């Protein structure tokens, strides 16, 4: 099966006050890390959806960059852009760039469901990253607002990944990530 990754990177990072996609972790930006993990997981093409004022887009390598001119409408507009770019694929994995605990193994596990959506289970819910088969592309193209595909995942099975509940939204999150990295044995 040909499954694309759609990295949602058009957000304004308003809570952080600067583009979180460009934060460095272990020598790579968060968005570069997301592209690398998607590639390592065997997802192809890797589509990165960016906003119209994104300064890091020209530096992206090994992926397809799609500019979402309507990024201010919310996450659903970025999902629509990514799915449109992946319309020839058998499915997509929707993912963010701000989940530092994400692994290529987890992305691969999401893709084994065939014709049903599968999300990541953490913090008592099922969320992204999440796999959607091509049979659901029409529904994804109808999404509106800033809630993403949350409703479509409400009854979907989830693969446990409690570490994914930690994402980067604030300066405090960056400090917690730095602390966690110092405490994790290498």
Q: Is the pTM of the predicted complex or chain greater than 0.75?
A: yes
pLDDT digits (tens, 9 = 90+) for 35-62: 999 999 999 999 999 988 777 667 778 8
Give the domain CATH number at 150.
Answer: 3.90.550.10
State how far the Cα of 136 lies from the Cα of 8, in Å rounded to an integer: 18
The answer for residues whose C-beta is within 8 angstroms of residue 31's C-beta and 6 or more apart is: 7, 9, 21, 22, 48, 56, 60, 97
If you average pLDDT over residues 66-88, what whole number do you get? 93
Q: Which domain holds residue 7?
A: 3-183
For the chain, what is the domain count?
Answer: 1
């Amino acid at each position: 099966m040909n499954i694309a990754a759609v990295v949602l990177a058009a957000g304004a990072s308003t809570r952080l006050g600067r583009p979180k996609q460009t934060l460095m972790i272990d020598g790579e930006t968060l968005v570069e890390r997301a592209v690398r993990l998607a590639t390592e997981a065997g997802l192809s093409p890797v589509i990165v959806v960016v906003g119209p004022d994104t300064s890091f887009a020209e530096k992206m390598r090994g992926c397809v960059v799609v500019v979402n001119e309507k990024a201010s409408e919310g996450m659903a507009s970025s999902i629509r852009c990514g799915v449109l770019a992946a319309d020839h694929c058998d499915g997509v994995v929707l993912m963010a760039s701000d989940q530092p605990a994400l692994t290529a193994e987890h992305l691969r596990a999401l893709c084994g469901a065939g014709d049903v959506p599968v999300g990541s289970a953490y913090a008592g819910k099922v969320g992204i990253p999440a796999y959607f088969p091509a049979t659901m592309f029409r529904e994804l193209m109808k999404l509106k607002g800033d809630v993403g595909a949350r409703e479509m995942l409400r009854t979907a099975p989830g693969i446990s990944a409690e570490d994914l509940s930690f994402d980067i939204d604030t300066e405090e999150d960056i400090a917690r990530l730095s602390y966690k990295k110092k405490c994790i044995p290498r």
